[in-house]
Structures are given as structure tokens and as C-alpha cells.
Amino acid sequence: MLRYVLFCVFLFTCFATGSGLYYLFSSFTSLTKKLKTETFHTLWEEGLKEIPEGTLHCPSAEQQRAHLLCFQGFLLQKQQNFSQADKIFTKAYDEAEKTPFVFKEELLGGSIFNYFFLDKLNCMETFLSRLEEHCPNSPYLCLFKALLSYKQQEFEKTIEFLSCWQREKSRAQAPWLNLNIQQLLGDFFFDQVMAHSLVETDMFPEGRIILNRIIDKLLKRDCEWNTKIYDRTALLLSQSYFLELMQSQSIHIYADYHKMVLFYLKKVHLIEQNLYKQLFPEEKFISMLMTHALTLPIEELSPIIQLLEIWQRHYLHPTCSLVIQPLVENFSKRQDKAAQFCEALVSCSGLEELQQKLVVTFETLLSDKVQQVETLEAKQCVSLLRILDPQISISEKLTLSQETLQKIVLYDDDEQLMKLQNYLALWEAIQSYDIDRQQLVYRLVHSAKQLWKQGGVDQKALKLLQLVLDFTSYDIECENIVFLFVKQVYKQALACHAISRLLHLENFITATGIPSVLISEAEIANFLEDADYLFNHGDYNKCYFYTLWLTKIAPSSHTYRLLGLCLVENKCYEEAWRYFQLLSPNNSVYDSKIQKALALCQKHLPKDLQVNKR
């Protein structure tokens, strides 16, 4: 009996449990459906609230899902979630193509508008074609063509289509699209686009009238203040003067227009980098400023320098070569203008980086010009470097390679000699007296010694020594080095009777004023005997050089007599006459050779000289 009772209790328990589970599942399903339905209707009702009364013919229940997707797209677009909105619009369009859809104009318009913000210009063009196909009379065609043309920088078309939109917008009846256009573009967007397009098509006054009207409304509080709109308008005004300046060939307006470009740029609270790059293309803008900077006087350079400072601050990686290259190309031809620009540049605290890059560039250029021995341009580099960095050390940049120095030293013409003189003048210009200058002196003296040792180029060696003395302003140390060298080679020339070298050295001593080399009486007598010997044996040419040298170191009646007779034998009568005049009457009257030589000289003297001697 107990078993039957327990079995019945078990069956009752199972039944109760099953009924409970069924009830729970049934309730959950109903609740889920209810929630979904309520969410749908909530979204739908919210969408209806966005639409002005009388503009919506309520679609059938079958179309509500497609309409809900369309509304979700506009809602996401309104929240500026354009990527998600794109997905929703695409899905809605795919569904709309399968069935009749009364919202097709609004859906296509919403997609085009969304692509405008995503910068998908190809998609804009595709959907514009679809809108034109399905809704050929849509007033939104003008609007979207204007937006596409503006993105493509086809400004004449933009003006045309915007004018069309102004005429057609009263027919625009797509409520969700209208609301988003109003909220996302704002009150002044189309005015700014029209003004910008007018400016880009060279209608500068017309564009500025519109932009100034916007500024006036904002400043007079005729509308709610909007910093972003104000900044964009100020940037467009600044750009209008820049573009007009680009076209102008009149130097007289440059300074005023620079001030206007700067004035409106300074009015901007926060410069949007991408917009700044778009309105002021770096290469065109900076190239124009540099062209003007190398033309205008220094008192008109301040606005240009300030504009360069703004450019450096608002470009992430400014192309400094746009400033540097024009200076490198023009510093030689327009030295004064380049110097003025550098002076203006260093006065600005915001351009230190550009200033340092200029220093590095001109240091490198200076080294190159020195190695090429282009000393004039090197001197101009030095001048600019001194302006850019008054504390700069330049001397190490002036050091010539040994190969280049030897090439100059072994000059074969006046041009190479002039190069050497200009190179030394460059050192004098920087007034450097450091170790690099001393090393240069030692190298030049060493080169002169090598030339002397080489033989056959004595004049070059001595000319180089004279340049060194002039370069050092006859510094005591340098003069001693030169004197010791001259004394050494003088003794060597005496020892081997190298008479031509002795003459060169004696001329050098006379020209430079360094101390004479002492020569003993015995050495002088020895050379005089050699001169007599040469004359007696008819070697008048060699005798001439001996006696000429003797007249310089130990002049006497005997040397003058011998020198004059050698000159007569060589038919140099006028020169011989001058030396005979140095003889006393006692030495010449009773000397038959002298008398014969004088008679011969008088015969060949010019008439004016003969008259004077009578």
C-alpha cells in the first residue's frame, strides 16, 4: 500500500515540475518578444519625433525594418559615428533595392553625405549617379555636387552648384537628412565654402565680403559664439591675401599684404594643422616669402619672420630647405639682402632650430668654397656665419688640404697668385690668431723651403715668403723664421757662387727690410776677382751678374766701372751711362776705356737725354 502512495506522490511531483518549467520558458519568450517590440517602437517613435509634422506618410509594417535601419544610420551620422553609419546605410540600401522604398532619396542622400565626411569621393560619385537616376528632380543633387566639387577643389563648379542649392533648398523635404545637414554643417558652412571658392577663383573682394560678414555676426553676438567657425573664417581671410599676393607683381604691396596675412593668422585661437597645410601649401607659401625676403628692405622683414615662426610651429616636420636653399643660391649675388634676412632671423626667438640649420649649412659651404679656393664666396659665408652665430669658431673651416695648398703655391700665372693672396686676405678678415693660423704660417714657410730646394722657382719661393711676412704683419716669430732660412740659403749660395740666387736673395732682403746677411771682406774680394777674370776673358754676361750683386752688397768705383763696361758690351747704353755717372771725374777722365764707352753711350742715347747731359 505504501508503495502505491509513494508512486502517486512521484507522479504528481514530475507533473508539477514540468508545468513549472513550461510556464517559465513561456513567460521568458513572451517577455523577450515584448522587449524587442518595445525597443523597435521606441526607436521608431524617436525617429518620428525628429520629423516635422505632415512630412511623413507612415509606411506599411513590412517596410518599418528598412526605415528603422535608415533612421539608425542618420542617428549614428548625427553622433558623427560615420564608419558605423556607413555600414547601416549600406545594409539599408541593399534591402531597399529588393522592394519598393519610399525613403530612397533620403537613404541615398544620407549615404552621400556620410561619404563626404569619410572623404570617400569615389563612393560619393557613385551614389550621386544613383540619386540622379532614381530621383532626377531631387533638390539635393545641387548640394551634393557642390560638396563633391569642393572636395575635388573644382571651385568654379562649387560656386555654380552652391548657387543652384540656394535656389532649390526650399524644395528639400527629406527631414532626417535636413536635420543632419543643419546640425553637422552648421550655420556658416556654406558661406565659408562659397567664400573660399570665390577666393580660389581670384574673386578676392567678393570672398572677403562674405567672410567679414561672418566675423561681424560672431563679434556682434548676432548668433551663438563658435570659436571653430571664427578660426576657420580668419584662416580663410588670411589665405585670401596670400593667394592675391602670389599673383601680384607689384613690390609696393608686398609689405602691406604680409601684414594682412599675419594679422588674420594671429586672430586664430587654435590653428588646425590639416586646414593650415591645405590653405597654405608649404612649398608655395615659403618659396614666396623667401623671394620677397631677398627683395624687400630690412625694415619690412618683420612680418615675414613672424610668418616663418608660425610655419615652424604648426608644421609637424617643416621643410627647412625651402628657406635654406634660396639663401644658398642667392647669398653671393645678393649679399646685402641675405645678410639683412639673417639679421632679422636671429632677432626672433622662435626660429632657433632654423637658425642652427643655417649655421651648419653655411659652415659646410664655407669648407667647400675654401677647398675650391673661391675666396670671395668663402668670405661672404664668413660674413653670414658671424651674423647667425657671433660666437662661432671659423678658423678650422678655413684650413686647406695639403694637396690644394701645394696646387696654389706652385702657381704658374697671376690668377693662382691672386687666389693665394685672396685666401690669406680671408684669414685676415676673420682676425683669428689661434693655432690654426699659426699652422698655416708654418705650412706656407715649409712650402717656400720646398720650392727653393726644388730649384728653378726661386722667385716663387721668395714671393711666398714675402706673402707670409705681409700676412703676419711681420710678426717677430715669423720674421725670425724667414731670416734664418734666408741666411742659411744665402751662405749656401755664397759657397757655390750661385750668383743668380744671390741676386734674388739680395732683392728679397731689400724689398722686405729683413736684416742683411753679413759677408766677409775676403768673400767680397774673391767675387771681385772672379768678376775681373770673367771680363778679361770676354764673359761679359756672367760678369754683369757678379758686378751687379757686388754693387748691392759692397758698392765701389771699381764695381760701377766694371758693371758699366759689361753693359756697353751688351749694348745696354742707357743703363751703362747711369752707372758711369756714379764714377768720380778722377776715375773716368784718365780711363781710356771709360772715355770710349762714354762716347759710344752718348752716340746711342735718346736726344732728350743728350740735351740734358750737355
Confidence band for 359, pLDDT divided at 50, 70 and 90:
very high
Last residue of a domain, one of 332, 362, 392: 392
**Considering the domain boundaries, does residue 6 fall inside one?**
no
Which secondary-structure segment (H or E) carries 226? none
pLDDT score, position 17: 45
Check: CB of residue 559 under 8 Å from CB of residue 550.
yes
Mean pLDDT value across the chain: 85
Confidence band for 123, pLDDT divided at 50, 70 and 90:
very high
Domain count, the chain: 3
d(C-alpha 322, C-alpha 329), whole Å: 11
Q: How many CA atoms, within 13 angstroms, populate the side-chain half-sphere of residue 393?
A: 7
Q: Is the pLDDT of residue 32 over 60?
A: no
**Quick one: angle between helices 204-219 and 189-200, nearest 10?**
150
Q: Is the pLDDT of residue 204 over 80?
A: yes
Count Cβ atoms below 10 Å from residue 542 Cβ, excluding itself: 16
Better-scored residue on pLDDT, 172 or 261 = 261
Last residue of a domain, one of 371, 392, 413: 392
Q: Is the pLDDT of residue 531 over 60?
A: yes
Mean pLDDT of 536-551: 93
Q: Is the pLDDT of residue 475 over 70?
A: yes
Q: Is the pLDDT of residue 534 over 90?
A: yes
Check: CB of residue 261 under 8 Å from CB of residue 289.
no
d(C-alpha 216, C-alpha 157), whole Å: 28
3-state secondary structure of 582: coil
Confidence band for 19, pLDDT divided at 50, 70 and 90:
very low
**Considering the domain boundaries, does residue 322 fall inside one?**
yes
Q: What CATH number has the domain bearing residue 98?
A: 1.25.40.10
| Low-confidence winner among 28-42, 175-189, 498-512, 527-541 (lowest mean pLDDT) | 28-42
Q: Which residues does 559 contact at the CB level (< 8 Å), separation at least 6?
A: 528, 531, 547, 550, 551
pLDDT digits (tens, 9 = 90+) for 220-242: 887 888 899 999 999 999 999 99
**Considering the domain boundaries, does residue 457 fall inside one?**
no
Confidence band for 399, pLDDT divided at 50, 70 and 90:
confident
**Considering the domain boundaries, does residue 343 fall inside one?**
yes
pLDDT score, position 100: 64
Last residue of a domain, one of 331, 360, 392: 392
**Considering the domain boundaries, does residue 107 fall inside one?**
yes
DSSP label of 63: G
**Considering the domain boundaries, does residue 213 fall inside one?**
no
pLDDT score, position 104: 83
Mean pLDDT of 88-102: 76
Tell me what percent of the residues of the chain surpass a pLDDT of 70. Answer: 86
Q: Is the pLDDT of residue 608 over 70?
A: no
Residue type, 596: K
pLDDT score, position 589: 64
d(C-alpha 456, C-alpha 444), whole Å: 18
Mean pLDDT of 126-150: 94
**Considering the domain boundaries, does residue 225 fall inside one?**
no
Q: Is the pLDDT of residue 7 over 80?
A: no
Helix ranges (H only) for 248-333 are 254-267, 273-279, 282-293, 302-314, 321-330
**Considering the domain boundaries, does residue 143 fall inside one?**
yes
Mean pLDDT of 468-483: 90
pLDDT score, position 4: 45
Tell me what percent of the residues of the chain surpass a pLDDT of 90. Answer: 57
The range of the structural domain enclosing residue 335 comes to 311-392
Q: Which residues does 549 contact at the CB level (< 8 Å), separation at least 6?
A: 499, 502, 503, 506, 527
Count Cβ atoms below 10 Å from residue 408 Cβ, excluding itself: 18
